[in-house]
Amino acid sequence: MFITKKFIPRRTFLKGAGVTIGLPLLDSMIPAQRPLNKTAAVPPKRFMAIWHPHGAAPGYWSPQQEGSNFDFSFITKPLEAFRNRVTLISGMDMPEAMANTEEPGGDHARGAVLLSAARPRRNAVSPYLGVTLDQLVAQKYGKDTILESIQLGVEEDGNFGNCNWGYSCAYTNCISWSSPVQPLPAEVNPRVAFERLFGDGTSPEERHAARTQSASVLDSVTQEIAFFKKPLGAGDRAKLDTYLENVREIERRIKIAAERTITEPTAEIPFGLPENKTVHYRLMYDLLALAFEGDLTRSATYMLGKDLSGASFPDSGFNGGWHGSSHHGDKPDNVANYAKMNRYHVQNLAYFTEKLAKTPEGEGTLLDHILIYKGSNMGNSHRHAHVKVPIILLGGLDGSFKGNRHIVFPDNTERTSNMLLAVLHKYDISDIPSYDAAGRRTGTIATFGSSTKPISL
């Protein structure tokens, strides 16, 4: 028997005027009679980190049982449908974010510890931290993608200046750092993020001009799509149609949201931020799902807010401000209301998780090929406590990461930096770059930030 099937390279794009469209993994990208894991089309390892400020309501986050088959808590209950892909960790501390006798205060200024495991230098002019986990993953796995990494958020601010107790605003506004001296700001505008994902590298003016002539980015590649689809099998055509329809639908929703904005459009960015928080959060999640499906990037961070945020979330069932509500005074009614806000953010994560779980890729789904870390730099934020921080790990990472676990550490025994080191090892990253005091790379080391020994994951 002769096998004559031709296959399409995984790094195939559809290009038009100001547009580059990445493609989902198609059967046509897998050579005939060759196991998927032996081809260039093997689903890549992906990483995503989600930051939220102000910890979690005490008594409402941590499940009562340790180990497997635990009962999900009030806050984490929305993830129960994905139990086999969920690991919750209780009892870990983040000492790098703690105040000390030399550097008192600043509890809301050290959020960047989340992915760096490094204590920020207290300096408003020359911030210094460390390379973050997401960037190490990006350096190893993102060389063949349009974007080596992407940073998204929902609240905008400048990166520099004095934000809190003499600390640079970069520590508050950026959780992703490509080096100790290079913070990567988060894009908060859905339309601008869309342009980054599907633009072709031309100038913003050129892309904007192309958009004014087309109802959709896909209008620029109509002929390319038709030509590309001709030799595809029925299954691949259906998958491609679904993916492109999702691109068009998200673009439509972004345009609707841009008509109901809370920020004044400018000449540079002629569209503001969505007025409705849930719409904003979920548009960004949808963009990330498309980015992963089209293999546009393999590393992402998403900031759900910033320290001292006063945002409110009516869809949570409680309308208090985020930071103010986190100072609940340990009063039962206040704590219960704050728990509703925490659960709301997990509900949005569950929305994203369901999208990944329903998106086939190779022999599994997008959820099977990613690890998502959702965390905060505080536990009980009313007390500014950087202990017992809430940690959610979600995904399969190609079968190397198990779910249905609630891991509990005794008080004051384990730090998040050792968890980050264990995650890096899951990505086969053991040589960690080292830097001098000026941020120049000097070599490699086996530890990450303040880590001492990786935990067992």
**Single-letter amino acid, residue 142:** G
373 assigned to some structural domain: yes
In a domain, 83, yes or no: yes
Which residues, 6+ apart, have CB-to-CB distance to 290 below 8 Å? 197, 243, 246, 247, 250, 296
For the beta sheet containing 86-90, the strands, ordered from the edge strand earlier in sequence to the opposite edge, are 150-153, 299-303, 46-51, 370-375, 391-395, 86-90, 405-408
Per-residue pLDDT tens for 84-105?
999 999 999 999 999 888 888 8
Query: How far apart are the C-alpha atoms of 199 and 33, rounded to whole Å?
Result: 36
Residue 415: inside a domain, yes or no?
yes
Q: Is residue 203 a part of any domain in this protein? A: no
Q: Supply the DSSP string of 57-105, one letter for each residue.
A: -TTTSS-SS-BSSPPP-TTTGGGGGGGGGEEEEES-B-GGGS--SSS--
Do the domain assignments include residue 152?
Answer: yes
> For residue 387, what are the domain limits?
43-188+273-445
pTM: 0.90
Residue 38 lies in a domain: no
Residue 259 lies in a domain: no
Task: Give the tens place of pLDDT for each residue, 270-290.
Answer: 457 888 999 999 999 999 999
CATH number at 58 reads 3.40.720
331: exposed, middle or buried (Cβ count in 10 Å: 0-12, 13-18, 19+) = exposed
176 contact partners, CB below 8 Å, separation of at least 6: 49, 115, 132, 134, 135, 149, 151, 183, 184, 186, 301
Determine, yes or no, domain membership for 79. Answer: yes
Higher-confidence position of 42 and 181: 181
Which of the four pLDDT bands, split at 50, 70 and 90, describes residue 354?
very high
Question: Which of the listed ranges 7-21, 35-49, 237-251 does the model predict with the highest average pLDDT?
Answer: 237-251
Region label for 239, one of left (φ > 0), alpha (ψ between -120 and 50) or beta (otherwise): alpha
| CA dihedral (401, 402, 407, 409) positive or negative | negative
| Domain tally, the chain | 1
